[in-house]
Chain A
Amino acid sequence: MTADAAANRRGSVARRPLFRRRSAIPGFTLTMGVTLTVLSLIVLIPLSAVALKASELSAEQFAAAAFSERALAAYRLTFGAALVAAAINGVFGVLTAWALVRYDFPGKTLVNALVDLPFALPTAVAGIALATLYSPNGWIGAYLTPLGIKAAYNPIGVTIALIFIGLPFVVRTIEPVLRDLSDDVEEAAASLGAGRLSTIARIVLPALGPSWLTGFALAFARGIGEYGSVIFIAGNMPYKSEIAPLLIIIQLEQFEYANAAAIALVMLGVSFLMLLVINAVQAWARRFS
């Protein structure tokens, strides 16, 4: 029983001898059949269309579509803004998770619910709201304009939208780890004479490291694909404030389907790379837990 529980905690079921693979529970063929059929029809086959469509292009054509100056500028903006937004969320996400787990304060339930707002709020709504707030005569933009800061219709605007979108990923990834972190280690460090700050710096933060990285990577991955919340505040100027997903739509509107597929293929490649990174970080984290 204990072995089983331990195995379950590791996320895998206890290894059974081969002859016991046939489970007593019925319905495997049916449910597996439905799962694989639906997965193939909805996800895998349509996704493979991207690669197939892009393969209609010659290498030169592919490069011209996927790595044109304009596309490179869009990747730079998309990845750069997603990176900065994930970093800002990395800082405030830890603080938010820390406050939610360690402190009691009035309105905590409300704050906790609010953190998930970006998951629940349609991205287009977030987009027009942010564009209105940060436009030169908006609630926030009006205060930034006298300072000479332009926060909408440029890369800063893109970053602001991605901060909104990415925040819950960091908070919700760190929170359970922080909650499970036992007081004992901190108490031990403190009783051995470590100050509070060095306990946090040497004990707590390293323990949070893998989940922080995972949250950061999730926020970044979501950021590079994000469209709805960004386009309203981005300005969408070619070479300046045009994100990569928008380029796909522009190619589609010109009926350049293969070019759209080429850019999509690059973005899918980056997404899969992020997926691998996230899985690797989690596997690495499991080795220490």
Chain B
Amino acid sequence: MAARRLSTEDPAWAKALIITLVLMFLGLVLVLPLAAVFAEALRKGLQPALDAIASPDAIAAVKLTLLTAAITVPFNVVFGLCAAWAVAKHEFPGKSLLITLIDLPFSVSPVVAGLIYVLVFGLQGWFGDHLIDNGVRVIFAVPGIVLATIFVTFPFIARELIPLMQEQGTSEEEAAVSMGASGLYTFWRVTTPNVRWGLLYGVLLCNARAMGEFGAVSVVSGHIRGLTNTMPLHVEILYNEYDFVGAFAVAALLCLLAIVTLVLKTALEVAQPGSSRRGH
């Protein structure tokens, strides 16, 4: 930051006061909950916490969470790249409406996000009878969990890529195409290298949300232990059974995920200052 002149400098006492206030507020609102999770998980020592994480139900929950993220993130990467390519590299009427619609899942309550799939695929839903006749379960099963997770993470990668690709304009691609490069070649060799940091940033946030989603998944999962329980749902069940050490041990795992996400995100922002525009 450039040296500022005295006239725009805040007095030292104001500076100290604001920094103190901010640190106290963030400590109270953000640090204490994080510390509480680890403290509660280790309340009876390390071994009970490790046992809780190693229990078959917890391991099944970890696996389901990883599976959900492994489907959701690539799906959203493909969608995000398609949407960004169409929106940023071409002109068409209704563009801003399309961007608003892609952003829509951000303003929908997670519970409503779960509800819509129950309405479509549930017993009383549009396809309910048809699915039962064919022995396909969507609601209270893994496909429903994946669908709901895709819905809540839908905008993450697209909204990271669209402004980035718009900023970069179309001249490089036009040059490549006019020199005879194919569309796919142009995409891989010209566009992708330019947006890889933004893409990584979007993947990071999308993954964190996909692994941590609770409300939407809770509506469609049916909470069947060992089968349709993701990690956040497992935390809820253990907590409601007063197995606090178990609940907080699994929660601590999720905290580690959040911390890793934040560290990588910070590293990305240091590597690529432009990517710090926002986060969701």
Contact = CB atoms under 8 A, between A and B. Distances in A.
Nearest to B81: A31
Interface residues of A, number: 101
Interface string B146-181: 010011001000000000001101100110011000
B120 A109 contact: no
B91 A16 contact: yes
Given A120-B261, A126-B33, A225-B111, A279 B100 contact: yes
B8 A186 contact: yes
Given A35-B83, A117-B30, A125-B232, A26 B258 contact: no
Contacts of B182: 26
B95 to A, nearest CB: 9
Interface in B67-126: 78-79, 81-83, 85-87, 89-92, 98, 100-102, 104-105, 107-112, 115-120, 122, 124-126
Contacts of B26: 96, 111, 114-115
Contacts of A191: 7
A129 interface: yes
A31 B86 contact: yes
Contacts of A26: 177, 182-183, 186
Contact of B98 (A16, A35, A128): A35
A83 B219 CA distance: 26
Contacts of A228: 110, 214-215, 218, 232
A109 to B, nearest CB: 7
Nearest to B108: A271
A252 B115 contact: yes
B44 interface: no
Contact of A139 (B36, B89, B116, B170): B36
Contacts of B52: none
Contact of B112 (A42, A50, A199): A50
A186 B86 CA distance: 42
Contacts of A190: 7-8
Contacts of B8: 183, 186-187, 190, 199
A132 B35 CA distance: 11
Contacts of B259: 120
A245 B111 contact: yes
Most A CB contacts (10 A, CB to CB) among B1, B25, B151, B266 go to B25
Contact of A113 (B28, B233, B263): B263
A32 B86 contact: yes
A25 B214 contact: no
B22 interface: yes
A275 B107 contact: yes
A25 B34 contact: no
A113 B266 contact: yes
Nearest to A163: B29
B115 A96 contact: no
B18 A98 contact: yes
Given A31-B85, A129-B36, A245-B109, A122 B115 contact: no
Contacts of A45: 120
Contact of A8 (B78, B90, B92, B167): B167
Interface in A57-111: 92, 95-96, 98-99, 102-105, 109, 111
B183 A121 contact: no
Given A35-B83, A120-B208, A102 B10 contact: yes
B266 A129 contact: no
A129 B34 contact: yes
Given A129-B36, A249-B111, A260-B115, 9 more contacts: A24-B174, A26-B182, A117-B34, A125-B258, A132-B40, A133-B33, A163-B29, A172-B279, A275-B104
Which 6 A-B pairs rank lowest in CB-CB distance, beginning with the nearest?
Answer: A122-B212, A225-B109, A228-B214, A190-B7, A26-B183, A227-B215
24 contacts: A25-B177, A27-B183, A32-B90, A38-B79, A42-B151, A46-B151, A50-B115, A119-B209, A122-B211, A123-B232, A125-B232, A129-B33, A132-B36, A138-B36, A164-B33, A187-B7, A226-B110, A227-B109, A228-B110, A232-B236, A252-B115, A261-B115, A264-B111, A271-B108
